[in-house]
């Protein structure tokens, strides 16, 4: 029996894990076949069946993950009926960290907890999650290589992180490969057409747009499509999934474990590209974006923007608002960065981890083993909101997520995005990143108000470095 603990009232967008503001089930026969044939996809060592001994299991789930989680859970309860699962729904509001800290102190942490990329360093330092390395290397589980490397990096403290004993250890495994793409409202394209596999042929009066489009071509398209109350694009220059990969493509590290570089020459070039649509009038005004909670969906679904930056997690709501036939997806356009032509794709994910207070570790491993199998993932993929972070499934054109009947046109753009991620969420101390969610929008507003980019970003850099200096960094262990 599943005991459902009532959810918190606060609500967050699925893109919280990438940003600042922050299911149909296969039949029993299909599940059994999938498990027998493919639960060890990508790893012979993972082919053995979990023990499924009689046990309890407790899980903490984000509200936006409830539907795919419940889809996989229904299959798991048939697969391991001896494991009795209870789960609690949480939101990604600031209270989440406090809730976990309180549960840790009282010995009430659930066995499995969910995180999102930019929150992970804080949860690691708070001591609420344990490293997974000894399980990843076990014969009865999946190896670290089973998951997309770019997504897993969000959960592995980099060189320079504190405490140093955490560096290189993996604390969570990613659930999905959320990589940035541009959605297109087909009804508003005018004289432009999209053929994802075609070479782009763009002029100010129309043309064909393909997967190989450049940022300069995109700006031409957006300007041409800006008419009256309709803007060419909604993009989010204060979203880390935009500024972080753009600055990375320009050869600099925006926010590392110990310092930032938000106003170097490369960073200034990146900010100029990102802010240009708001400056030249082809992008949804920044003030409107802020009014909408730093989300593009409200403007895009209202027909006020032809293009909109987003991730696969946005797809279910966009389908509901616009209809599947009205959507096309394109990878992020390329820019000429420090190392030549680069696609500045941002990436992130949510992930599962085993808490430091876990009382049912075997059952937790049983569930994770099942969830990451093709059978368990299949139920989650049918929600349309997930590109699996498993290497073999994300790249499989015959996978469930890739063959759903109402996918947007040019669905393969999601795979291009997952394979071209330039930067994951910053692995900066929690206070540094949280302050940046206010400081970066303020800097952009200053630029839009007439302050030179170099001046506004120099002030941002000074603020950010002060945050690094004052961050509560644990002693080396």
- Return the CATH number at 191: 3.40.190.10
Total domain count for the chain?
2
pLDDT given for residue 47 in this prediction = 37
User: Model-level pTM?
Assistant: 0.84
Please list the residues that pair with 55 across neighbouring strands: 83
Q: Cα(145)–Cα(173) distance, rounded to whole angstroms?
A: 11
Bridge partners (DSSP) listed for residue 57 = 85
Q: Are residues 156 and 297 in the same domain?
A: no
Instruction: Give the pLDDT confidence score for residue 39 in this predicted structure.
Output: 33
Check whether residue 133 and residue 43 sit in a common domain. Answer: yes
Residue 49's pLDDT is what? Answer: 55
Same domain flag for 125 and 211: no
| Co-location of 207 and 124 in the same domain | no
Q: How far apart are the first and last CA of the chain?
A: 42
Are residues 46 and 138 part of one domain?
yes
Q: Which structural domain range is residue 461 located in?
A: 180-346+426-470
Residues 204 and 154 in one domain: no
Contacts of 123 (CB under 8 A, 6+ apart): 97, 100, 113, 115, 129, 171, 353
Answer whether 226's CB lies under 8 Å from 234's CB.
no
Walk along the chain (477 residues) and give the pLDDT tens digit of each residue.
333 332 222 233 444 445 433 322 222 223 222 323 333 333 333 434 567 889 999 999 998 888 889 989 999 999 999 999 999 999 877 789 899 999 999 999 999 999 998 889 889 999 999 999 999 988 778 999 999 988 898 899 988 888 889 999 999 999 998 999 999 999 999 999 999 999 999 999 999 999 999 999 999 999 999 999 999 999 999 999 999 999 999 999 999 888 999 999 999 999 999 999 999 999 999 999 999 999 999 999 999 999 999 999 899 999 999 988 899 999 999 999 888 999 999 988 899 999 999 999 999 999 999 999 988 889 889 989 899 999 889 888 999 999 999 999 999 999 999 889 988 888 888 789 889 999 999 999 999 999 999 999 999 999 999 999 987 544 444
């Amino acid at each position: 029996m599943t005991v459902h603990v009532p959810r918190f009232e606060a609500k967050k967008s699925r893109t919280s894990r990438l940003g600042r503001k922050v299911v149909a089930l296969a039949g029993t026969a299909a599940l059994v076949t999938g498990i027998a044939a493919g639960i060890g996809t990508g790893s012979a060592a993972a082919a053995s069946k979990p023990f499924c001994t009689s046990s309890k299991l407790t899980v903490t789930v984000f509200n936006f993950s409830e539907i795919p989680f419940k889809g996989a859970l229904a299959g798991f309860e048939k697969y391991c009926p001896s494991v009795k699962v209870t789960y609690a729904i949480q939101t990604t509001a600031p209270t989440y960290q406090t809730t976990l800290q309180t549960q840790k102190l009282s010995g009430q942490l659930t066995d499995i907890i969910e995180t999102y990329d930019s929150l992970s360093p804080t949860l690691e330092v708070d001591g609420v999650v344990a490293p997974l390395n000894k399980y990843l290397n076990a014969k009865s589980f999946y190896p670290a290589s089973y998951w997309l490397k770019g997504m897993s990096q969000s959960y592995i403290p980099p060189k320079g992180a504190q405490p140093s004993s955490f560096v290189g250890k993996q604390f969570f495994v990613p659930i999905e490969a959320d990589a940035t793409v541009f959605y297109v409202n087909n009804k508003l394209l005018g004289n432009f057409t999209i053929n994802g596999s075609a070479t782009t042929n763009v002029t100010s009066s129309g043309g064909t747009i393909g997967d190989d489009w450049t940022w300069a071509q995109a700006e031409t398209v957006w300007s041409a499509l800006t008419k009256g109350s309709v803007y060419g694009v909604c993009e989010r220059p204060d979203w880390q999934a935009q500024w972080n990969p753009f600055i990375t493509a320009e050869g600099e590290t925006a926010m590392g474990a110990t310092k930032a570089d938000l106003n170097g020459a490369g960073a200034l070039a990146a900010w100029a590209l990102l802010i240009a649509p708001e400056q030249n009038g082809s992008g949804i005004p920044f003030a409107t974006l802020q009014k909408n909670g730093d989300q593009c969906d409200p403007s895009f679904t209202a027909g006020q923007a032809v293009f909109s930056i987003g991730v696969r997690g946005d797809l279910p709501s966009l389908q509901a608002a616009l209809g599947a036939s009205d959507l096309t997806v394109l990878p992020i356009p390329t820019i000429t960065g420090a190392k030549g032509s680069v696609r500045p794709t941002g990436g992130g994910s949510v992930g599962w981890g085993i808490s430091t207070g876990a009382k049912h570790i075997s059952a937790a491993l049983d569930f994770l083993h099942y969830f990451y199998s093709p059978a368990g993932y299949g139920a989650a993929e049918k929600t349309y909101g997930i590109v699996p972070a498993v290497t073999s499934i994300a790249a499989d054109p015959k996978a469930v997520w890739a063959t759903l009947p109402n996918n947007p046109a040019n669905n393969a753009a999601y795979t291009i995005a997952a394979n071209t991620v330039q930067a994951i969420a910053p692995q900066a101390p929690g206070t540094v990143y949280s302050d940046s969610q206010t400081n970066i929008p303020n800097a952009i507003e200053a630029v839009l108000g007439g302050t030179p980019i170099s001046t506004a970003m120099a002030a941002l850099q000074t603020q950010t470095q002060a945050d690094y200096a004052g961050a509560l960094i644990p002693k080396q262990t």
